[in-house]
Structure 1
Amino acid sequence: MTKTLGTLLVVSLLSIPSIAMADDKKEVPEYLQKKYDRRVEDMKKFDKNKDGVLQAEELRESVATKFDAADINKDGVISEQERAASLDKFKSETGGAYGEALSRSQTNRIKNRYNNADKNNDGKISQEEYQAYMEKHQTNFDRDGDGVISKKEYRLDGEKLPSSYVRKLKED
């Protein structure tokens, strides 16, 4: 009996890698694959040293670039009018590339990002507020905690975070 149980245990442990591999090779629906492909292309824009992963410095640069693009009058603050103009510009630039529904979804994500970054709720987002919010947001990309964001981690950004990450966010 003990020998049979031991054999069963060994066989089941040996099958775990094949189950995990089968899950990795699961066919991805076309709409989801397009989203993944778009995220990888977006990532390439920020990967300045072209090593296929994002480091903290590259992410800081991307945040500064995004803030500068939204701060139209260059006063160091994104006003409500500048937010609206930034969202309109994003919609017009991405409508054809992403498709109308996805463009609308992404626009809502950016709108929520602006709202969340405005910590003091004064209708203006300072560079410090935006930087602090985005750094916290981007640390969630690094799901394995190795200090760099891989293509797989970056492309999964839009997916639901594991509950352990959600708890960590609420604690901060």
Structure 2
Amino acid sequence: MKNLMMMSALGMSIVLGGAVQGMAASGEGKGPRHSFEQLDTNGDGQLTRDEMQAHMKARFDAADTNGDGVMSLEEMQARGQERAAKRAAKMIERLDTDGDGGVSFDEAQARRGGKMFERADTDGDGAISQAEFDTAREKMREMHAKRHGKKSEQNAE
């Protein structure tokens, strides 16, 4: 019974996650897959429960590749892998400054690594003390918690 509940919760998070994300404003890289206008199928300027449920049903049906009305573990895993592959492709596109189709250490470092060190080295002495490290780690946890909710904050401990 616990496994059934876990699979149901995971399946609904896959389906619902995209519906809520789709309601945000469009942006580069991260962000929605659907505009308000796309979700507002009757064009009345308001999203109804029926419109949202229709959207969620379409997402569920797309993930339920064998069409049996039940999302299996394999279907959930395939959906997760598909989403991860899309995120990785976008990341490479963003970081690959020389256009070779991959991200070298230097390209990755230029984007984030140096900035992270500079932020952590608050006294500017070119080294990170234990106190600076602890402060930087706490700031990272706080930023992660803001983006992903309180659960991630608890998991970080």
More helix by share: 1
TM-score, normalised relative to structure 1: 0.32
TM superposition score normalised by structure 2: 0.35
The higher-RCO structure (CA 8 Å, 6+ apart) is 1
